[in-house]
Chain A
Amino acid sequence: MKIVVCVKQVPDTKGGVKFNPDGTLDRGAMLAIMNPDDKAGLEAALRLKDEYGAEVTVVTMGLPKAEEVLREAMAMGADKGILVTDRVLGGADTWATSTTLAGALRNIDYDLIITGRQAIDGDTAQVGPQISEHLDLPVISYAKDIKIDGDSVIVERQYDDRYHVLKAKMPCLVTALSELNEPRYMTPGGIFDAYDAEITVWGRKDLKDVDDSNLGLAGSPTKIAKASDKVRKGAGEVKTDLDADGAVSYIMGKLKEKHVI
């Protein structure tokens, strides 16, 4: 079985988000990590590899520095890494990104493509399903469990209050939730091997069946008007002069006032 996992290098938002004066993300000032949903997708692929035997290829699109997430994935156990990088691909929104990744994936054999549900920097959850559209594949999103049954996958799709069990014939695409699993650590020897390994680097010319008008900033229909950090909440209101019943009715009143209930 051949599994491809799409991963993205994203800024680590744990330490807060930093912006350039023009409102774009100051990526240089933030640590870069593998997007958590993608990491869960990779872990799911590695578990399938452990259980059924598979070749796992990781693909990322980004700056040359994004090869770090490929090395990390290989240090965890992925077999191959492909970096898609080119100046003309910069500034891509979800449409241009999915077009690019689909153009790269057309060069590879696969039975299963796994992507994260969404990236913590954009939070759109669009790229995975869009890739499946470009490649004309069935897609199951929000996977919290993935099993293989012959030439099909059986996936539990998580909703807020329920889950669906879906079966799809491979090749297909699954988007993974970070709740799917607890990703394994790398191993020290895996890291050394990953840095000795060759990473395949593809540019615009290597993308198959894509039109320039759908690539990079120019090919992105999304235009960002403004970006801002979360607005700090006020200190809140402290009431100390209420008994238990009074406190309950006060809170209920506030919730009604805000149309929460």
Chain B
Amino acid sequence: MDFTLSKKHEMARQLFKDFAETEVKPLAQEVDETEHFPMDTVKKMGKYGFMGIPVPKEYGGQGCDILTYVMCVEELSKVCATTGVVVSAHTSLCADPILTYGTEEQKKKYLPDLASGKKIGAFGLTEPGAGTDAQGVQTKAVLDGDEWVLNGSKCFITNGEVADIYIVIAYTDVVEKRGRKVKSFSAFIVEKGTPGFSFGTKEKKMGIRGSSTYELIFQDCRIPKDALLGAQGKGFPIAMHTLDGGRIGIASQALGIAEGALERTIEYTKERKQFGRTIAQQQNTQFQLADMATKVEAARHLVYKAAMKKQEFAEGAKVSYSVEAAMAKLYAAEVAMEVTTKAVQLHGGYGYIREYDVERMMRDAKITEIYEGTSEVQRMVISGSLLK
């Protein structure tokens, strides 16, 4: 067992760090303040391969491992959580299910454009009446000749309006299971511009304000028969498996936010003077920083471990990384919330002012406890594996 990063991973981290510091950090405050989607940054990231890190080279990706992808989301989120989630949702929730469940034709059609950032990906499962409870999904797909006809709506969709390719979960059947009628779901690939597919209102959010969060509306939206992703009726396991991967991405985002807040706080406490000495010289500050750093380190280990487990799966091993992903997401999200809250406290009044990054980071951290499965859902997943 070795906790040391290989030289190539170290170099990749340095690359993401340099890019984040130079290209992303200077825009972070404005992206938040103006709720402006960082399209120019996404184009640059596309140019340098950041939008297709774990996608194999044969499909136009970088052919790197999950750990490299995780470090990318982490380093971006250290300076701008919006940019972090754009990459995470695009990669984990759109490119990954196409790679895992797509036919060869679907992979060749969609992955090169996704991996190069020419097109952006999104994923739609959540609906106004169905978040954690997937059975509440109302969006329906009916086969009519050579086409599926989609009706319904999806809400809180990350990369909502800016995406070009959407993975959409809809029910295609109602079947009897243990005497109860349950919906059977299927996954579909829907392209922007398809007639009958439109966008609702843009959500105004507490944090990650630059990310484009929209409602997707399907009204007699006709998509080709071969837009079905995976087998008919397998939409639920596809969605759950996709979210397992997505959770590793969000865990990386949460880790990055916590690390970013810790770094800012260390800098600040070394400069801020009270009672004739820096607040870093006060024991309370030292103890708080020690706790923050320890939790960040523990979160990092869980996140990297989940990444390694998913890597085993990606290399063909018959393993599940569901529990590792849930633990990483649960812990990293709670650490992000705790560390950013402490960071604001250690900044005192300045921490409550928009000019200081930690104010934004605390708002950004909250969503990591909610999306792609709330912390409560992660606890369900973890305990479910313990008590089965």
User: Can you name the residue of chain A whose Cβ is closest to the Cβ of B115?
Assistant: A189
| Minimum C-beta distance from B309 to chain A (A) | 20
Within the assembled complex, what's the spacing in Å between the Cα atoms of A195 and B64?
Answer: 12
Contacts of B48 in A (CB 8 A): 184-188
The count of chain B contact residues (Cβ–Cβ below 8 Å) is 19
Contacts of B19 in A (CB 8 A): 185
The one of B6, B11, B64, B68 that contacts A72, using a Cβ cutoff of 8 Å: B11
User: Can you name the residue of chain B whose Cβ is closest to the Cβ of A193?
Assistant: B63
Q: At the interface, is chain B mostly helix, strand, loop or mixed?
A: helix
Please encode chain B, from 1 to 36, with 1 for each CB lying within 8 Å of some chain A CB and 0 for all others.
Answer: 000001110011001001100000000000000000
| Minimum C-beta distance from A259 to chain B (A) | 39
Cβ contact within 8 Å between B57 and A186: no
| Minimum C-beta distance from B216 to chain A (A) | 30
User: Can you name the residue of chain B whose Cβ is closest to the Cβ of A182?
Assistant: B22
Within the assembled complex, what's the spacing in Å between the Cα atoms of A241 and B62?
Answer: 64
Cβ contact within 8 Å between A71 and B11: yes
Contacts of A190 in B (CB 8 A): 49
Please encode chain B, from 39 to 71, with 1 for each CB lying within 8 Å of some chain A CB and 0 for all others.
Answer: 000000000111001000100011110001000
Is B72 among interface residues, defined by CB-CB distance under 8 A?
A: yes
The count of chain A contact residues (Cβ–Cβ below 8 Å) is 15
| Minimum C-beta distance from A79 to chain B (A) | 17
Cβ contact within 8 Å between B64 and A189: yes
Cβ contact within 8 Å between B62 and A189: yes
Within the assembled complex, what's the spacing in Å between the Cα atoms of A124 and B6?
Answer: 35
Is A207 among interface residues, defined by CB-CB distance under 8 A?
A: no
Cβ contact within 8 Å between B11 and A191: yes
User: Can you name the residue of chain B whose Cβ is closest to the Cβ of A184?
Assistant: B48
Please encode chain A, from 40 to 72, with 1 for each CB lying within 8 Å of some chain B CB and 0 for all others.
Answer: 000000000000000000000000000010011
Within the assembled complex, what's the spacing in Å between the Cα atoms of A137 and B50?
Answer: 41
Cβ contact within 8 Å between A75 and B11: yes
The one of B8, B18, B50 that contacts A192, using a Cβ cutoff of 8 Å: B8
Contacts of A192 in B (CB 8 A): 8, 12, 62-64, 68
Within the assembled complex, what's the spacing in Å between the Cα atoms of A194 and B11?
Answer: 11
Contacts of B7 in A (CB 8 A): 68, 71, 195
Cβ contact within 8 Å between B18 and A188: no
Please provide the chain B residues from 188 to 242 with a CB less than 8 Å away from any CB of chain A in the complex.
Answer: none
Please encode chain A, from 185 to 210, with 1 for each CB lying within 8 Å of some chain B CB and 0 for all others.
Answer: 11111111011000000000000000
Cβ contact within 8 Å between B8 and A191: yes
Within the assembled complex, what's the spacing in Å between the Cα atoms of A246 and B18?
Answer: 47
Contacts of A187 in B (CB 8 A): 48-49, 62
Contacts of A191 in B (CB 8 A): 8, 11-12, 15, 64
Query: Lowest 6 A-B CB distances belong to which pairs?
Result: A189-B62, A195-B8, A187-B49, A188-B62, A188-B64, A185-B48
What are 13 pairs between A and B in contact, CB < 8 Å? Answer: A68-B11, A71-B11, A72-B11, A185-B48, A186-B11, A188-B15, A188-B50, A188-B62, A188-B72, A190-B49, A192-B12, A192-B64, A192-B68
List chain B positions with a Cβ less than 8 A from chain A: 6-8, 11-12, 15, 18-19, 48-50, 53, 57, 61-64, 68, 72
Given contact pairs A192-B64, A194-B8, A195-B8, a sample of 6 additional A-B residue pairs in the complex whose CB atoms are under 8 Å apart: A68-B11, A185-B48, A188-B12, A188-B49, A188-B62, A189-B64
